[in-house]
Amino acid sequence: MILADVGNTHIHIYEEGRVLHLEPEDAIEAFGDRILYYICVDPEVRKKIVALTYWKDLESKIDLPGSYEGMGVDRRALCLSRDEGLFVDAGSALTVDRVVGGRYEGGMILPGLHAYRRALGEISEVLDREPDWSIECSSLPKGTARQLSYGIIAPIYHEILRLREGLTLYITGGDGRIVASWFDDTLYDETLVFQGMMKALVSVNG
Amino acid sequence: MILADVGNTHIHIYEEGRVLHLEPEDAIEAFGDRILYYICVDPEVRKKIVALTYWKDLESKIDLPGSYEGMGVDRRALCLSRDEGLFVDAGSALTVDRVVGGRYEGGMILPGLHAYRRALGEISEVLDREPDWSIECSSLPKGTARQLSYGIIAPIYHEILRLREGLTLYITGGDGRIVASWFDDTLYDETLVFQGMMKALVSVNG
């Protein structure tokens, strides 16, 4: 079984427990004549994908109780991967979603970590610096580089801690390892979205 | 006495308790032949200003104990305005600085509120929406517009609450009224940076 998660920048392909992160054209060239199930959040890439006879859109099967009209299908699949938890997807955007007893309770959407870095760089040259993604957030630092690292990390880190309330923290996405490194106990797994897709497939096919 | 705070986008002029927010060229045209004290954080605008005979750079007099090399002179002036407090400047960037007993303890630098809005809009069309700056942050919402409003506001709001620790919260800057509206008890004042500049002038001139 092959699965594809079509994002805003890459197509992520899952095959036999392994994940490939490919440019859209490369993914279509390599997997265009293979049978697979996909979900897609990018309207432009979707136009190319719908022409592929062997690719089946799984979106209508991704049924997350409590979710809202317009919620990204990748976030819904992520939330389906476990019966409950606080789910973080750290990609181009950073999303945090809360599921309790199989039911979606709500979430938030922030710029992704590298969008913060770009946003600061656009404000002034002084702020155009690579953040230290591993900075300690126990007390307010001094120094421009440390203060902007703290300013990106601490508000997100503390808000996630606050929202967690005893739930297991599940983290995925391209910057997921960075976010996971801030916490003592968390589960980072780049296959979570695919696990949710598989659950949806199993429940449909019995 | 006239004071000028030269920022990255505007020159803010203080005269007889009133503040004007002017484009650099307009400020120079209107006030170029007036005697005033200024501070400046923009290297490009500085080049034009140093040519003005009547404008005196106050930077060397802005002496904030505990501050670090490279800290913006406007933030130092803001921190000088009171003996202690948590100081928020909500401009193109959003800074939070902590002063206890006249001594600078540290701070953080985030993108300004409108930089968040732009950063989200650049990620995908779906996220290109005007946030609701007055959203309630008591529980995780549903819906894209509400989730991105929450995602900008809640982490900043809760981090400021956390850092406050009984200090008075002083807020200034172009988006200062928005940030102040999130809190029950806070002091918003667009003249705080100028108050710090005046304190520096008084201590120099005795």
Rounded Cα distance, A63 and B186, in Å: 44
**A21 sits in which H/E element:** strand A18-22
The answer to whether residues A92 and A50 belong to one domain is: no
**What are A85's strand-pairing partners?**
A99
**Res. B174: pLDDT tops 70:** yes
> Mapping DSSP to helix (H, G, I), strand (E, B) and coil, where does residue B23 land?
coil
Please indicate, yes or no, whether residues A95 and A164 belong to a single structural domain of this protein: yes
Residue A62 lies in a domain: no
Q: CA B186, B188, B189, B194: dihedral to nearest 10 degrees?
A: 70
Indicate yes or no: CB of B123 within 8 angstroms of CB of A111. yes
Residues B88 and B185 in one domain: yes
Cα dist. B33→A168, B30, B49, B179 in Å? Answer: 64, 8, 12, 36
Residues B90, B48 share a domain: no
In a domain, B78, yes or no: no
pLDDT of B203 strictly over 90: no
Please count the structural domains in chain A.
2
If asked whether residues A45 and A139 sit together in one domain, one would say no
Quick one: A113 and A180 in the same domain?
yes
- Tell me whether residue B204 is in a domain: no
B45 & B136 share domain:
no
Average pLDDT over residues A176-194: 96
The dihedral of CA B10, B15, B16, B20: what is its sign?
negative
CB pair distance less than 8 Å for B120 and A109: yes
- pLDDT higher than 90, residue B9: no
Q: Do B147 and A8 touch (CB under 8 A)?
A: no
Residues B45 and B121 in one domain: no
Query: Annotated active-site positions of B, please?
Result: 74
Cβ contact, residue pair B108, A144, below 8 Å: no
Question: What is the band of B206 on the pLDDT scale with cuts at 50, 70, 90?
Answer: low
CA–CA gap between residue A163 and residue A167 (Å, rounded): 9
Residue A79 pLDDT exceeds 60: yes
Asked if residue B205 has pLDDT above 90, the reply is no
Statement to judge: residues A90 and A52 lie in one domain = no
The more confidently predicted of residues A126 and B205 is A126
Best interface-test mutation with B: which of A46, A123, A144, A158 has the largest number of B CBs within 10 A?
A123
pLDDT average, residue stretch B82-93 = 96
Query: Is residue B25 in a domain?
Result: yes
Residue A134 included in any domain: yes
Within this chain, do residues B106 and B174 fall inside the same structural domain, yes or no?
yes
Q: Within a domain: residue B110?
A: yes
- CB A151 within 8 Å of CB A143: no
* Closest chain A residue by Cα to residue B107: A140
Q: What is the largest CA-CA distance in chain A?
A: 58
End of a domain among B11, B38, B57? Answer: B57
Q: Are B70 and A143 in contact (CB < 8 Å)?
A: yes
Hey, what amino acid is at A151? G
- CB pairs under 8 A, 24+ apart, for A58-66? A58/A197, A58/A200, A58/A201, A61/A200, A61/A201, A61/A203, A61/A204, A62/A196, A62/A197, A62/A200, A63/A200, A64/A99, A64/A104, A65/A102, A65/A103, A65/A104, A66/A103, A66/A104, A66/A105
Rounded to an integer, what distance in angstroms lies between the CA atom of residue B90 and that of residue A73?
A: 35
Residue A101 and residue A27 share a domain: no
Show the domain range for B96: 84-190
Tell me if residue B55 falls in helix, strand or coil: strand
Residue B8: inside a domain: yes
Active-site position among A5, A74, A89, A175: A74
* ipTM of the complex, rounded to two decimals: 0.94
Q: How far is B191 from chain A (nearest CA, A)?
A: 22
Regarding whether B166 and B103 lie in a shared domain, the answer is: yes
Chain length of chain A: 206
Which chain B residues are Cβ-neighbours of A179 within 8 angstroms? none
B28: domain CATH number is 3.30.420.40
Would residue B206 count as lying in a domain?
no
DSSP code at position B32: T
- Candidate from A98, A119, A159 with C-beta closest to B118: A119
Tell me which of B64, B97, B140, B158 to substitute to probe the interface with A (most A C-beta atoms closer than 10 Å).
B140
